Structure 1
């Protein structure tokens, strides 16, 4: 691991981006953040930190990007969006990184394994696969971090756990392995990859590997109330529904519309996006946040306490 380097983070004011910057600042790195001209958010978040440099540059300004990247060893992209961001903005960032002589580039992947999915089955994954071809051809070292889905989404954003109805939805099989990692654990890994001169093309991590069946069991244990599995159809039916939703969608550039969420579940429950080479130990021992940890924190002590009291002594 190298130290005392300059790392630039694009998308540093986003949820994941802020977590990545926080992890980098735990070490000795100097951090630069890239922000759009006129946006005050970066100054509000980082303005008082003397180890963070704020660079206001538009992605349509090649010379400005090269200047912002001058002297940077690693670029971390944590931008979020559809084609205008994942392809266009990151393509501009990559070109500037190459021209500025940056050694390493970490693209904004942070997802399940998009490399084996069926064409047409997942827009966001296909955008990442399209950019990956350009990254592989560029004269720069690239490392993608794949982490499955964000475990934080299980608390409500991803409609898999129906908390009030005490149901766990699944498609096709309740025993399909599902990879989940919290944003905090992803941010930690990304910061370590940024300092790793020998990082491979892809680093796969999974804070937890669960199934719909095991999630139902966990929810039952945490709440003291039985949670049952509910078959929601096959992945084929879900894929068809997502296609209809996409055709009817008014904004094709929305980052995560409902039909894209359907596509994500298709990729996961079909097994196509399952991680196959997880290496959680690459950067040493670490206590990963489990799905159980996330759900326990979400439910809160008031819900869990009655369960704990009612349990017989071991």
Structure 2
């Protein structure tokens, strides 16, 4: 491993936290860029500092010159932030300009989910926005890595943590690539500092179960529990992708209804939660000795299945 200096935007977020911990554990220099210290992030920022990270506050992260100044001497900039329309259309182009101006070697945009590069324009609104930014990124002259972890256990394995019913979608026989958040973060830390992954996609691929296999596991583990189920068919998902608007009605997440049904369409109808294109490297090939937490472990854990 060559030691790198990595700047992280969104270091205290869901994936940003294990990613940043992973970078520090691996011995890299880490600069955490944050708008401010506040009640929500102060404890995590203090812990990162204790581990050796440098914390830099930038009140206006849309100031190209201010960001470029912070990024001087940085090898890789990681945007570990939610892929909202505002972030993709407004913030990331500014951060990219700042990275290019500062001479950063590699930019890692907000992906951390479905394989955008294998998706066609029109398959989902949020992915269309990402693909437009990818065109800008790949024409900028900077190196890049697109990191695709597939699903996160919390949202893709059947449990009652966020919804009253166990909910399934689309084709129940499609392979669902899903991993624990700690593994996702640590593997990301390895991937974004790996010379082999420059100008490549990285697909995390250690775990794959169909929804039917997950349901069978749940029933086997909790045979006497009266689970309630809800299923959204492929036809319904496709219809909702086309007719939904910009309202936000989902219990979890900030995606608009149109974006959310587009994500469900990509993952559960056209099977692009994970993909293996010519430019995609498999995490299991890059890191064959890495041992991931298995989905079967989570589905056998009462705390995971039942606690909210």
Assess same fold via TM > 0.5.
yes
Show the counterpart of 1:80: 82
Displacement of 1:279 after TM fit?
3.5
- 1:249 and 1:28 map into 2 onto residues whose CA distance is 41
2:196 alignment partner, SS class:
coil
1:18-97 to 2 correspondences below 5 Å: 18-37=17-36, 39=38, 41-47=40-46, 49-50=49-50, 51-57=52-58, 58-97=60-99
Confirm or deny that 1:297 pairs with 2:286.
no
Task: Name the CA shift for 1:269/1:18 in 2 (closer, same or farther; >3 Å).
Answer: same
Cα distance in 2 for partners of 1:291, 1:250 equals 28
Asked if the contact 1:246/1:259 (under 8 Å) is kept, the reply is yes
Aligned to 2:110: 108
Structure 1: tracts of 5 or more residues without a match = 304-314
Could you tell me how far apart the structure 2 residues matched to 1:281 and 1:214 are? 25
Equivalent residue, structure 2, for 1:307 = none
Q: Deviations over 1:213-250 (max 9, x none)?
A: 10111111211348999783532321222444325559
**Are the structure 2 counterparts of residues 243 and 276 from structure 1 closer, same or farther at C-alpha, using a change threshold of 3 Å?**
closer
Deviates more, 1:229-238 or 1:291-300: 229-238
Query: TM-score with structure 2 length normalisation?
Result: 0.83
Aligned ranges for residues 139-150 of structure 1 at < 5 Å?
Answer: 139-150=141-152
Report the CA distance between 1:301 and its aligned residue: 10
Alpha-carbon spacing, 1:22–1:85, altered in 2? closer, same or farther (3 Å): same
Q: Match for residue 130 of structure 1?
A: 132
1:271 CA displacement: 2.9
- Alpha carbons of 1:301 and 1:40: their partners in 2 closer, same or farther (altered >3 Å)? closer
The structural deviation recorded for 1:178 is 1.7
Work out the CA distance in 1 between the residues paired with 2:89 and 2:203: 22
Does the residue aligned with 1:143 lie in a helix, a strand or coil? Answer: strand
Indicate the residue corresponding to 2:100 in structure 1. 98
**Deviation at 1:66?**
0.7
Alignment of 1:239-250 (within 5 A): 239-246=238-245, 248=247
Work out the CA distance in 2 between the residues paired with 1:9 and 1:131. 19
Task: Give the Cα separation in 1 of the matches to 2:41 and 2:162.
Answer: 28
Task: Give, in angstroms, the shift of residue 152 of structure 1.
Answer: 1.9
Contact 2:249–2:257 (Cα < 8 Å) also in 1 = no
**Structure with greater Cα Rg:** 1
1:189 maps to 187
**1:111 Cα deviation (Å)?**
0.9
Instruction: Name 1:162's counterpart in structure 2.
Output: 165
Q: Deviations over 1:5-52 (max 9, x none)?
A: 221000112121111111111122121111114656554322362511
- TM-score between the two structures when normalised by the length of structure 1: 0.82
Structure 2, unmatched stretches of 5+, are: 277-281
| Count of equivalent residues | 294
Tell me whether 282-291 or 22-31 shows the greater mean CA deviation.
Answer: 282-291
